[in-house]
Chain A
Amino acid sequence: MARALNTLLGRILLFVLVSHAVLLPLLYLTLSHGTRVNAEETYLDYLRGYSRFIADLIENQPVSMPDSDVVALMDSVVLGHDGVYAELRLPDRNLRSSIVSDADEQRFKEDFAFNSHDDEVYYLSMPVKVGEQEGQLNLGFSESDTAAEIARLHRQILISLVIYLLLAVLISIAMGVTLSRPLSGLQKVSRQVALGDFSKTLDAQSSIAEVVELAHDLEFMRHELVQVNTRLKTEIAERQVLEAKLRHSQRVETIGTMAGGIAHEFNNILVPITLYTNVVIEDLPEGSELRGYLLRVQRAARRARELIHKILAFSRQLEVEEKQPEDLAKIVREATDLFSSLSHATLDIEVEITEEPCFVYGDATMLHQVVLNLCTNALKAIPGMDGRIRITLTTETRHPSSALQDRQGLGASYATLTVEDNGMGMDAATSERIFEPFYTTRRVGEGTGLGLSVVHGIVLSHGGDIMVSSDLGMGSVFTIHLPLIPEGKPLLEQAPLRT
């Protein structure tokens, strides 16, 4: 019951019923009083006017009416509509209707208001002058018909008010249903939205301005919620990607540090080997068998030195002394030309280089090596003789990886170098470890597993980053971002780069 009263329909009905419970009795009393007063007044005006007419009829005769005529007139009054009693009382005689009795005369009690004596007869007297005598015309009329008419009017008013109340209740129910239906719809959809179903639209389907505005506001909130939710999901996904990248970077960093340390120590060990081998070679005669052995040792030491050089490049412990503003477009063009000339003719190589200035601060030889390593890696990923490698260089004003910008502390422009192949591709686990040194998917003897590690180290030492996107059987895309510098700008004015 309490719940029903707390609904919109219940409240409207309650309000209508309570207000009508207060107002209808007042309305009934006012209407019934008005009709009663009006009916009584009309009745009294009629009676008084009629009585005066009878009195004037007696009074205004040129010759006094004979008593028999007066009595006949009194009889006529009594026999007329509502007539009950009639008499002309003169100082010397009493001329009463022949059809009233002495008992009727005893009941005569003059009224000045309707039904004032509860005898259902209205008695009144009029002054009459008959000849020289002043008398009273006493008449009585039944009040029953008028009282019945008043009662009938009261019943009609009551019935009308009851019908009015029923109509008011019906209209209230219709109004309540009309008002509550769109609100119920909104409530239902709101619940679905609250449970995470954002697909439904909050539409009021109503012409009531307040309801429409409410629906509009709720829909606006739902829309905002959807957007916030989408943004949150995107941010969570981005955060997960960044966390994965961070973990990967830390892992590569750790490996690089360790590999760099080992390479550095190994280099120190290699120095006396190389030095003393050279000294002994110089002392041995040409064509000596021992000299031949030592030359092999020297070549092996040189290869070891190159290997150390690569490991140091990956671990970014290699001293880069030739960093300067370089035109990356020119470097990419030269490297791809060299790669094209060395690769077989059936390979489809697409090169697309931006016309925009594309200056980076770095070592041209190392950057050259980056391009060649990526192209070589792409070539080796293509199983047959036919394949496609696409190399593009573009500039961007904003890097898609916010982490890179954060690391650089710059909102600067970046060069984007992509090397795309349609080779065998990699699975996720391989992509995860592809930049680790000595990690390779090729057979023993086909690669050292240092090519991409070197690329990774060089790119990071130039303040950039590298990403790989690959699906097994669908090829791979390596993307490098390097911060751009304004063309020809003195180095001191350029933004600092942490290398």
Chain B
Amino acid sequence: MRINLFFILLFAVTGVTAEGSREVVLVVASESPIVAVSSLELRKLYLGLPVALQGNFARPLRNHSDEQLQEIFFQSAMAMSEAAYERQLLSLTLRFGRLQPEVRHSVEDLKAILREDDKAITYMWRSDIAEEDDLRVVKLLWLEH
């Protein structure tokens, strides 16, 4: 537990691991009631399905600010190709009328939304939130090998 806290603190401060590896993390506002997200919940969330996280319906945001971030998101978080993801999303939208996750192209926009909406959740480089006290990491999505 202490080791985990150490890593979290270390990541929060530096944005990278102790070995200098980059990380992609799932982020919410510090005051958000969302404290944990499983892999299955994450996939459902980003496919537009309603998911209650600790009793709250989360608002997923897609981060289109970085091409590599996109690739990591599809491989590590969604476990499918971009084309398959878009097909699934469209299929669910057409079949069940689900809302598609909002797309933002700026990290600053995403941070602003996270600060305004404590149900909002998104993914970004850990380095992007290294000095943001009002944002919190809820899950590690990818760690550079």
Give the interface of A toward B (CB within 8 A). Answer: 41, 44-45, 48-49, 51-52, 55-56, 59-60, 91-92, 108-110, 112-113, 123-129, 132-134, 136, 138
Given the known interface contacts A112-B68, A134-B140, the answer about A48 and B83 at a Cβ–Cβ threshold of 8 Å is no
By the criterion CB–CB under 8 Å, are A127 and B84 in contact? no
B90 part of interface (Cβ distance < 8 Å): no
Q: Which 4 A-B pairs rank lowest in CB-CB distance, beginning with the nearest? A: A52-B79, A112-B71, A48-B79, A134-B140
By the criterion CB–CB under 8 Å, are A125 and B81 in contact? no
A481–chain B nearest beta-carbon distance, Å: 102
By the criterion CB–CB under 8 Å, are A41 and B76 in contact? no
Give the interface of B toward A (CB within 8 A). Answer: 1, 3-4, 7, 38-40, 43, 68, 71-72, 74-81, 83-84, 139-145
A93–chain B nearest beta-carbon distance, Å: 11
| Nearest residue, chain A, Cβ from B141 | A127
Name the A residues within 8 Å of B144 (CB-CB).
110
- Cross-chain contact of B80 among A49, A127, A128, A129 (Cβ < 8 A): A49
By the criterion CB–CB under 8 Å, are B39 and A129 in contact? yes
| Nearest residue, chain B, Cβ from A50 | B79
Given the known interface contacts A48-B81, A91-B4, the answer about A112 and B139 at a Cβ–Cβ threshold of 8 Å is no
In the complex the two chains form, what is the Cα distance from A460 to B142 in whole Å? 130
By the criterion CB–CB under 8 Å, are B80 and A45 in contact? yes
Given contacts A45-B80, A110-B145, A126-B39, 15 further A-B contacts (CB under 8 A): A41-B81, A44-B80, A48-B80, A51-B79, A56-B39, A59-B39, A91-B3, A91-B4, A112-B68, A112-B72, A112-B75, A127-B140, A127-B143, A132-B4, A136-B143
By the criterion CB–CB under 8 Å, are A44 and B81 in contact? yes
Name the B residues within 8 Å of A92 (CB-CB).
3
B36–chain A nearest beta-carbon distance, Å: 9
By the criterion CB–CB under 8 Å, are B81 and A127 in contact? no
Name the B residues within 8 Å of A124 (CB-CB).
75-76
Name the A residues within 8 Å of B84 (CB-CB).
41, 45
By the criterion CB–CB under 8 Å, are B7 and A49 in contact? no
- Cross-chain contact of B145 among A91, A125, A127, A132 (Cβ < 8 A): A125
